Amino acid sequence: MLLAVVQPFPEGSQPADAELMERILQRDAGALETLYDRYGRPVYSLVLRIAQHPSSAEEIVQDVFMQLWRSADRFQISRGPLEPWLFTMARNRALDFLRLKREKQRRREDSSDSEVVPSMIARPDPEGAIDRSRRAEKVRSLMSSLPDSQRRALELAYFEGMSHSEIAESMGEALGTVKSWIRGGLMRLRDSLEEASS
């Protein structure tokens, strides 16, 4: 029921993700282009939020889509839809970059980054992104409804890849409290998305 919500394109309008992945297996660059147009923006937004570094974000996004191009056979629709797979891959890549950057900072080898993060651009959603836009609204609304500390704990876990104990230390809170915030937040997210799909 929940997974049904990620079929953003009704049959007959635009090619489904699975079909585009099949075409990528046939080395159809046009299919990759279509997938980039569909997911490039949310993937870039996610990666930039984690990496906080535009040129690095660009490299990571390029790496993610090239991985999609080279290893399309690793994606199987039977194991779930493309979007969460793509977002998970992008998050992992960006978090790897972040950990490496932190390690360099610890070694005092990091050079300062003077790049300016581009301003937020509000652009009308293309037809295909309406469903995602609705889910994004749901997720943002849920996040803003959470108490500041709970939202911050969730953000540190998702966007910075921190463990419970790292979050507890960073926020100066008890480990048990942090665990309870994160579990509670995730359960609310699950319920909210289930409501949206029922």
Q: Which of 127, 138, 21, 27 is nearest to 83 (CA)?
A: 21
Contact 82, 88 (CB under 8 A): no
Q: Which stretch binds another protein (CB under 8 A): 10-18, 96-104, 108-116, 184-192?
A: 184-192
Residues 139-158 binding another protein (CB under 8 A) are 139-140, 143, 154-155, 157-158
Q: Which stretch binds another protein (CB under 8 A): 13-21, 97-105, 107-115, 179-187?
A: 179-187
Q: Which residues contact 73 (CB under 8 A, 6 or more apart)?
A: 25
Q: How far is CA 100 from CA 97, 113, 130, 139, in A?
A: 5, 15, 35, 29
Q: Which stretch binds another protein (CB under 8 A): 10-18, 33-41, 99-107, 108-116?
A: 33-41
Residues 100-139 binding another protein (CB under 8 A) are 117-118, 120-123, 132, 135-136, 139
Residues 62-81 binding another protein (CB under 8 A) are 62, 65-67, 69-71, 73-74, 76, 79-81
Q: Which one of 49, 160, 171, 177 is in contact with another protein (CB under 8 A)?
A: 49
Q: What is the rounded CA–CA span in Å between residue 25 and residue 154? A: 36
